[in-house]
Chains A and B, each alone.
Chain A
């Protein structure tokens, strides 16, 4: 049986980018995707390509990824509608303005070239903003892209470069013997690889649990909306302190906005928006940009995002299994990072190290609560701490709490990490 240099579980943007980068260095790669490449969080997110506002720990990775976004056309044959129109993060109070200024100060070393726009200039520069806005912070390098195109474009480029990408193929079991990983697939086949990348998104913690590393990965479904086309006027990608609404317009006129959450069912692999969240997002969007009042929502959608308790992804080598590398749980802001994470994973797999600082993302930051040996193998899914920890978020319980509005997305996450300010990378989920 052929042994690949690297096997990748998950055909999202992270996995597809890793496959392409590995092929660029001539490693043999097989990628296993249960559905179609880019059909989960990578393909249904808001489409923000944003560095501004991220946790400082993510900025080196975001900077690296941004350089890849600039060369997308050369790398994958299409620009994926990426445009650096700038990202404008807005303040609705003096305190929020001060928080924006504080972030600019803290992020100074990362050369984001953040521009402070005070109350005297904000309406002059952006006359379509609503009355509640007192100022903002502008990052000219940031922008947005069409998420539906990016992961498939990386997948096609990887295939053209010789990667073996198998869509519609689920990994049923992954084990590690003394030398290699062996993956049992849903089509009856088995593949072997010297190294294994876990890029399974919201299901990444399932894979990590197979290898004795259960982590508390939650799921959330961003509630996304798009309007019919209206004359193009809104160039920058808009966000707000607190992250309860985010808005962008594409050149052909449609305005895409999101806010609040829908319903995610990780087991059924189904997500859908909720009417209440759509209504609330529409109100907030019109508050931000009153001109949207005359627009019509033509479609809403959602997807399943993996969310870690601290809002940071898991990226780096396994603590239990040499050769296993994790990259999942991007907590609603993985789209901009995806291309860069692929490059980092390639270095980790082939060089054993990366030039990009990723220490903050190690899986070891979550204490393992159960006997590692007992969790090995897929049978562990039934009894792992991970499984128990996610059960409370599944199915009808979540639907009920969400529809009744008793637990908003905000209070849910605010409970999870109260120490974070509006600059937390998890605010907003799936946002710029």
Chain B
């Protein structure tokens, strides 16, 4: 029996596994988290009991369905939780598990590696108390705690409103929801947004609920900077409204995020070609209409191959599994792929309305960073150093800038600073973002403890 491996146990990975098991194929599922669900449907640890509805809100039904689907598979699949893929070479994965390093050979591979927050640095973004939206969700969903008693939610995208709502519904006093996208842009996108149906209505509900509970929700915001209080943690956010007036909002924490970016490092190490997506302003691994890639036997599913959201991820997870089954000669998959593609097509229009209109990535905010602002916090690289590298040292693309300045060379390997650094370089050189290229994926995909390779760990 061929070795079939799925990386990721979020909505895409779970549906892919379910589809394969139904067809009589028992895959191996590798996931970094201790339990399935991914980022969006992350499960509470067994020690914490909270009402499902309270944790997941409108998504409770979907979360429960994905969790149950995976729980039903548990006996039939080879499940590796708490396991991080750190290398991919040829048809072998290097995996760090709780019991040490391991290698896993595959004949077919489904990458369902998900997404993470896209960050734009602003003054004070490295202060204690500043989190990403995803980080704020992890605190709430996995650790059952809030990032602070008085958080500000800053950024743009559907997640901004969802997390703010989740916090407020959990009883946290939200100091404000500050959206960098303008109100006009959202009005302009209204027809596109209607194509999202229920998803759009949920968004409207969150917005109305936040307003009804007296939480300031402001569009067209530009963050000026966060200031530290006497204890060194974030204490206040200064921002400008759409008219240019300055405001100061007291807070004890900030959760920020400017849309999501695909986690595609494993795809990169597998040798899959990437293409620039101008709507999402990011490079994504290329796939055919069914999730196949240029590397024979590697399939893509979910947000790791471009951001389409959790509901679409379930569909593309199933689709990737059917493409795999079809390639193995299973009858019946071709028809199902057609149906799934039709349903996925409906997400396209909604997604474009979100990305390109309603919650447009504020590239100008990233590009206009002050010279003194630290962009790469791992390596301490400022916007000014990037501009110097571009103009004085001749760095015309991001890997050259990386070589000269160390931007993107640290712990996060550019996953946090990469998008902003690319915007700064593109703006500074006066070239389109695509011309700046993308940071090459390098092993290890996440930091790798040296101790993992010592003889005790290996035995």
Contact = CB atoms under 8 A, between A and B. Distances in A.
A275 B404 contact: no
B148 interface: no
A301 B92 contact: no
Interface in B357-415: 379-380, 393-394, 400, 403-404, 409-411, 413
Interface stretch (A118-126, A282-290, A359-367): A282-290
Contacts of B288: none
Nearest to A255: B450
B212 interface: no
Interface stretch (A60-68, A106-114, A128-136, A291-299): A291-299
Interface in B75-91: 86-87, 89-90
A148 interface: yes
B89 A299 contact: no
Contacts of B86: 275
A297 B404 contact: no
A300 B442 contact: yes
Contacts of A280: 453
Interface string B68-104: 0000000000000000001101101010000001010
Nearest to B396: A36
Interface of A: 36, 39, 43, 148-149, 152, 156, 226-228, 252, 263, 272-275, 278-280, 282-283, 285-286, 292-301, 399, 403
Contact of A149 (B103, B380, B404): B404
A293 B403 contact: no
Given A148-B403, A286-B450, A403-B92, A156 B442 contact: no
B394 A156 contact: yes
Contacts, number: 87
Contact of A275 (B393, B400, B413, B443): B443
B244 interface: no
B451 interface: yes
Nearest to A226: B409
* Interface size range on B against A: 20 to 34
Interface in B13-71: none
8 contacts: A148-B404, A149-B404, A275-B86, A278-B444, A283-B455, A293-B450, A297-B449, A301-B442
Given A156-B394, A272-B89, A279-B101, A228 B443 contact: no
B197 interface: no
B447 interface: yes
Contacts of B448: 278, 296-298
Contacts of B454: 283, 286, 293
Given A156-B394, A399-B90, A298 B410 contact: yes
Nearest to A167: B394
A285 B448 CA distance: 14
Given A227-B450, A282-B450, A298-B444, A274 B89 contact: yes
Contacts of B379: 252
Contact of B443 (A39, A285, A296, A300): A300
A283 B451 CA distance: 8
A160 to B, nearest CB: 11
A297 B447 contact: yes
A152 B393 contact: yes
A275 B89 contact: yes
A275 B450 contact: no
Contacts of B411: 228, 296, 298
Contacts of A152: 393-394, 403-404
Given A272-B443, A297-B449, 10 more contacts: A252-B379, A263-B89, A273-B443, A293-B451, A294-B449, A296-B411, A297-B444, A297-B450, A301-B442, A403-B90
A294 B89 contact: no
A275 B90 CA distance: 11
B451 to A, nearest CB: 5
Contacts of B90: 399, 403
Contact of A403 (B89, B400, B404, B410): B89
Interface of B: 86-87, 89-90, 92, 94, 101, 103, 379-380, 393-394, 400, 403-404, 409-411, 413, 442-444, 447-451, 453-455
Nearest to A228: B411
A262 to B, nearest CB: 9
Given A36-B400, A300-B442, A292 B450 contact: yes
B88 to A, nearest CB: 9
B453 A282 contact: yes
A169 B394 CA distance: 16
A298 B447 contact: yes
Contacts of A39: 403
The 8 closest A-B pairs by CB, nearest first: A275-B94, A296-B447, A275-B87, A148-B403, A297-B448, A282-B453, A279-B453, A282-B450
Given A43-B403, A278-B443, A299 B409 contact: yes
Q: Residue among B400, B404, B410, B450 with the most chain A CB within 10 A?
A: B450
A226 B410 CA distance: 9
Nearest to B87: A275
A222 B404 CA distance: 21
A367 B92 CA distance: 42
Contacts of B455: 283
Contacts of A263: 89
Q: Residue among B103, B413, B451 with the most chain A CB within 10 A?
A: B451
Contacts of B400: 36
Nearest to A149: B404
Contacts of B393: 152, 156
A258 to B, nearest CB: 14
Contacts of B403: 39, 43, 148-149, 152
Contacts of B101: 279
A302 to B, nearest CB: 10
Nearest to A227: B450
Contacts of B380: 252
Contacts of B410: 228, 298
Contacts of B449: 294-297
Nearest to A287: B454
Given A228-B447, A286-B450, A292-B450, A299 B442 contact: yes
Nearest to B269: A272
A295 B447 CA distance: 9
A227 B448 CA distance: 9
A403 B94 CA distance: 12
Contacts of A292: 450
Contacts of A300: 442-444
Q: Residue among B86, B403, B449 with the most chain A CB within 10 A?
A: B403
Q: Residue among A252, A263, A278, A299 with the most chain B CB within 10 A?
A: A299
A236 B450 CA distance: 21
Contacts of A294: 449-451
A35 to B, nearest CB: 10
A260 to B, nearest CB: 12
B296 to A, nearest CB: 15
A180 B90 CA distance: 46
Contacts of A252: 379-380
Contacts of B92: 275, 403
Contacts of A36: 400
A286 B455 CA distance: 11
Nearest to A293: B451
